[in-house]
Amino acid sequence: MSLKNELENAIKGAMKSGDEVRKVTLRMAMSAVKLAEVETRTELDDSAIIALLQKEVKSRREAIADAERAGRQDLKDASEAEIAVLEEFLPKGLSTEELTALVIEAIAEAGANSPAEMGNVMKVIMPKIQGRAEGGQVSKLVSQLLQKK
């Protein structure tokens, strides 16, 4: 079953169970998917939907930081609840050890020996970790490992 179908089924389930937070969050996510499909005039595959969901999670993390600065616990709690719903549809994240192993493998595959070749390593690693680690975290790790060479 495609991720889009899973989202649609989850919306129906949330409507039946009366879970308002889940229903609203999933509807917003589905709306983002449909908007992207209209803009690109193609049906999104699972990897594109995962990227959209990650973007939604990131925006909610930023909202949490803003709510903390403003002292708004209610907004922080709402964003955390939405993140929990969205993360159900994202692949499980990589542990630091798993990510490090993949980065070392990508460095060897790209034949990189200096930080100047970081772009080549990122081209190799990003498709392998799609949706399982944040780009900033990967970039930082690649940079650290290349500087040790």
Q: What is the pLDDT of residues 127-144, one digit of tens each?
A: 888 778 878 888 888 888
Q: What is the pLDDT of residues 50-60, one digit of tens each?
A: 889 989 999 99
Fold of 96-148: Arc Repressor Mutant, subunit A (1.10.10)
pLDDT at 149: 65
Nearest alpha-carbon partner for 139 in 115, 109, 110:
115
Intervals of CATH 1.10.1510.10 along the chain: 3-87
Using 50 as the pLDDT threshold, list the residues of the chain that sit under it.
Answer: none
Which CATH code fits 3-87? 1.10.1510.10
Neighbours of 12 (CB within 10 A): 12
**pTM listed for this prediction:** 0.73
CA–CA distance, 14 with 82 (Å, rounded to integer) = 13
Intervals of CATH 1.10.10.410 along the chain: 96-148
